[in-house]
Every structure is written in structure tokens, then in C-alpha cells.
Amino acid sequence: MVKQLDEVTPQIDQGVRNAANEIGNRVNKALDELEPPKWNDLKEAQSKKFSNSTDKIYSSNLLNNRKIYKNDLDFTSEIAQMLIQVLKIKLKMIIALGITLRSNISMKNLKKSTGNLEQKILSR
């Protein structure tokens, strides 16, 4: 049994090498024939629409936008934080008044009925 394996193993190794070489040749041939996309030629060109504009030009790559316009993204995250704070205040007001979420009270009526309650909650 061991003798048979010793006889077959070199043939298997040679077959694997031949297959690997054939695959490598096919891949190299395919890479040589591959043409790059045409848009790669115009990397530095800008459209006329944006060239004279004073507005910021956002690229389609979100990572570049995050690096270049970090201040804008910080501003948007501040807006989200402010909205969360406002919602927390509104919930505290609703809880303080003992109003259940099932009742049909509008935010306008809630503001009218609370008066300075929002200021009191903020001062806590």
C-alpha cells in the first residue's frame, strides 16, 4: 500500500503543478487583455457645472467627504444630539403632567398647558 502511494504521489504533485501553472497563465492572459474603464482617464476633470461654483463639491466617495468636510458632519451629529435632547425634554414633560401616551393630545396643546415646565425641567 505504501509503495503504491509513493508511486502515485509524484504524479499527483506534477498534476497539481501543471494545473496551477495553467490557471496562472489564464489569469495573466485575462489581466493583460483587461482594459481599464474609460472614466479612469478623466480623474482630474471637473464638470462645468461645479467649476465656477462657490458651493462645496461633494464626491461620491463618502470616506473622502468625511475627511474633507468633517466640520459639516460634526454639525449634522450636533443636530441629531439636539433632537434627542428635545425629545427627552418632551417625554419628561409628558411624564411630569401624568399624561399617558395613548391620549390624543397634540404638542401645541401640550405646550399651552405646560407653560414654563420646560424651563423647570431644564434647570434640574
Per-position DSSP letters for 10-45, written without gaps between them: HHHHHHHHHHHHHHHHHHHHHHHHPPPPGGGGGSS-
Rounded to two decimals, the pTM is 0.29
**The CA-based dihedral angle spanning residues 21, 26, 27, 29, taken in that order and rounded to the nearest 10 degrees:** 120
Mean pLDDT in order along the chain per 10 residues (124 residues) = 77 86 86 68 52 51 54 60 80 70 55 56 56
Scanning the structure block, which residue is given the C-alpha cell 395613548? 102
Residue 15 confidence (pLDDT):
86
